[in-house]
Amino acid sequence: METKTVLITGASSGFGEATAKLLSESGYKLILIARRKDKLEKLKKELKTEVHIQQTDVTKRGEVEKLFNNLPANFKNIDVLINNAGLAAGLDLAQNSDLDDWEKMIDTNNKGLVYCTNFALKTMKVRNAGLIINIGSVSGSAPYPKGNVYGATKAFVRQFSRNLRADLAGTDIKVSNIEPGAAETEFSIVRFKGDSEKAKQVYEKTRALQAIDIANTIKWIIEQPMRVNIDNIEIMPIDQTYAGLVTSRR
């Protein structure tokens, strides 16, 4: 079998890093991109397969275009795009939120995903082959106080994934959307702008998902037969579920 080439965005930590390590063990060729070059270089040294790393900010269209236009010849045919780069910035009521935080989430979670998808599809459609895996969130369908723009960006990811499937009907290009619940990664540290103590409290006395759980799911999706497309999958930790509607009493 021909070795698959997989591009992972946000590969320097969390789901992206865990997925790179797992896929490397099975011999996949990897293109790893993130903003932190030092983390990518360290990760590359740990992996057991062919790896191309590129410092790239997915929120900048020019950088994404440059990445795709300058891939080495043996990495140009991307079989799998994993749109993993994403973040939450701040946890405030909408009326108290920082507009810069809102823009940062939209730029990363939506625009960055759209840029990478658009350029990857240019080559996938020529070969009539490929798989796009988007990392959404249960927040895209389950609203919660202070989730405002973060939840909205993940609702976009879900609907964009569905619309891609509709557009690609009749081709051999697959699209999957993975929606994790609470996962203990750098996610909350980023959300709370480096406050590790505050981030730690999010996962206290609970069994949260780990990065390897999502990596295992990604690998499983990639290795499904051609006839199978995993449209959407929600993954919740055992200690998290839906809380129902809330009624304010005055």
Q: What is the pLDDT of residues 196-239, one digit of tens each?
A: 788 788 888 899 999 999 999 999 999 999 999 999 999 999 99
Distance between CA atoms of residues 230 and 7, nearest Å:
19
pLDDT on residue 1: 52
User: First vs last Cα of the chain: how many Å apart?
Assistant: 65
Nearest-CA neighbor of 80 among 16, 197, 174, 206?
A: 174
Q: DSSP secondary-structure letter at 47?
A: -
Nearest-CA neighbor of 114 among 74, 163, 75, 186?
A: 163
Domains of the chain: which residue ranges?
5-235
Distance between CA atoms of residues 53 and 16, nearest Å:
13
pLDDT on residue 130: 98
pLDDT (tens digit, 9 = 90+) per residue, 24-75? 999 999 999 999 999 999 999 999 999 999 999 999 999 999 999 999 999 9
Enzyme catalytic residues = 150
Per DSSP (E only), the strands in 23-148 are 29-34, 51-55, 80-83, 130-135
Indicate the residue type of 124.
M
Residue 151 parent element (H or E): helix 148-167
- CATH fold, domain 5-235, is Rossmann fold (3.40.50)
Verdict on whether the full-model pTM lies above 0.85 = yes
**What's the whole-number mean pLDDT along residues 141-146?**
93
Distance between CA atoms of residues 51 and 199, nearest Å:
32
Say if residue 193's pLDDT is above 90. Answer: no
**What's the whole-number mean pLDDT along residues 128-140?**
97
Q: Mean of the per-residue pLDDT values for the chain? A: 94
**What's the whole-number mean pLDDT along residues 180-202?**
81
3-class DSSP assignment, residue 173: strand
